[in-house]
Amino acid sequence: MHYRSWDYYKKMVAAIFLLALFTVLGTGRMRELGEENRESRKKVSDEEFRAEFFSEPMRAEETQMSKQCRKYLRQVENEAVYFPVPVSTLDSSLETSYIDGWMCERNYAGKRGHEGTDIMASENKRGLYPVVSMTDGVITNLGWLEKGGYRIGITTEAGTYYYYAHLDSYANIEEGMEVKAGELLGYMGDSGYGEEGTTGKFDVHLHVGIYFYEDGSEVSVNPYHLLKFLENNKLKYAYS
């Protein structure tokens, strides 16, 4: 009978172990490549991209994203400077709060998903909280919308559209005017959901929206993660 040496069996075990290790590593790498390939094909209109726009995980994996998605991510990163509601230097109780309410159900004038973030006022008083521009840009829309009330639309040089809605009043601005990041736009209110001048249908808040125009189509993205990013860059205004 032919017997194998102990060294032979040790080599066999080592070979089997290495084969299993390389198989696991290879499978993991194939999974990574598949994920990278999937991310590289992602479009701006993809629901996942829209919902997670500017989140920390998205920014951390930017190099794996498609050229189109990277373009808009960097575009907003270069544009957005200030949180849209300044801090009061006279009354620290005048705070704001918001949650990730992307695509939550809305029912006024038809069922739809909420394409924005609502920044709520701790003091439910219209005309109290100032609203400033998050970016440089041009005021391309100004006036009443049934759903948005008194609203402002600002378009940046790169073409991003920043939407501020439910205002109580405007600052000294007009359509076509150039504005700078941090410039006063108006005051938070509760306007909208009716004919011009309608108020009181909901609590005082600021609706923020962000839109891109890709191949002639309008694409909204979730502002929540950008607002969280700008939390540490709030201006200070004297109001109470």
User: What is the full DSSP assignment across 46-64?
Assistant: SHHHHHTTT-HHHHHTGGG
Q: Which amino acid is at 38?
A: R
Q: What is the C-alpha to C-alpha distance for residues 199 and 190, in angstroms, rounded to an integer?
A: 5
Q: Which residue has the higher pLDDT, 29 or 52?
A: 52
> How would you write 174-240 as a 3-class SS string?
CCCCEECCCCEEEEEECECCCCCCCECCCCCEEEEEEEEEECCEEEEECCHHHHHHHHHCCCEECCC
Q: What is the C-alpha to C-alpha distance for residues 118 and 168, in angstroms, rounded to an integer?
A: 15
Q: Which amino acid is at 8?
A: Y
Q: What is the C-alpha to C-alpha distance for residues 157 and 15, in angstroms, rounded to an integer?
A: 61
Tell me the mean pLDDT in the region 171-179: 98
Instruction: Name the pLDDT band for 84 (thresholds 50, 70, 90).
Output: very high
Of residues 179, 80, 184, the one with CA closest to residue 139: 179
Q: Which residue has the higher pLDDT, 45 or 9?
A: 45
Q: What is the C-alpha to C-alpha distance for residues 196 and 200, in angstroms, rounded to an integer?
A: 13
Of residues 189, 199, 132, the one with CA closest to residue 162: 132
Give the per-residue pLDDT at 21.
66
On average, the pLDDT of the chain sits at 91
Give the per-residue pLDDT at 214.
83
Q: What is the C-alpha to C-alpha distance for residues 155 and 168, in angstroms, rounded to an integer?
A: 21
Q: What is the C-alpha to C-alpha distance for residues 180 and 36, in angstroms, rounded to an integer?
A: 38
| Residue 79, both tokens | 């544009």
* pLDDT beyond 80 at 31: no
* pLDDT beyond 50 at 33: no
Of residues 169, 157, 71, 176, the one with CA closest to residue 129: 169
Tell me the mean pLDDT in the region 156-173: 98
**Which residues, in sequence order, are bridge partners of residue 169?**
187
Q: Which residue has the higher pLDDT, 31 or 71?
A: 71
The label of the residue with tokens 């038809």 reads 110
* pLDDT beyond 60 at 74: yes
Give the per-residue pLDDT at 200.
97
* pLDDT beyond 50 at 10: yes
The label of the residue with tokens 């993660």 reads 225
| Residue 92, both tokens | 């620290």
Give the per-residue pLDDT at 208.
98
| pLDDT tens, residue by residue, 181-196 | 999 999 999 999 999 9
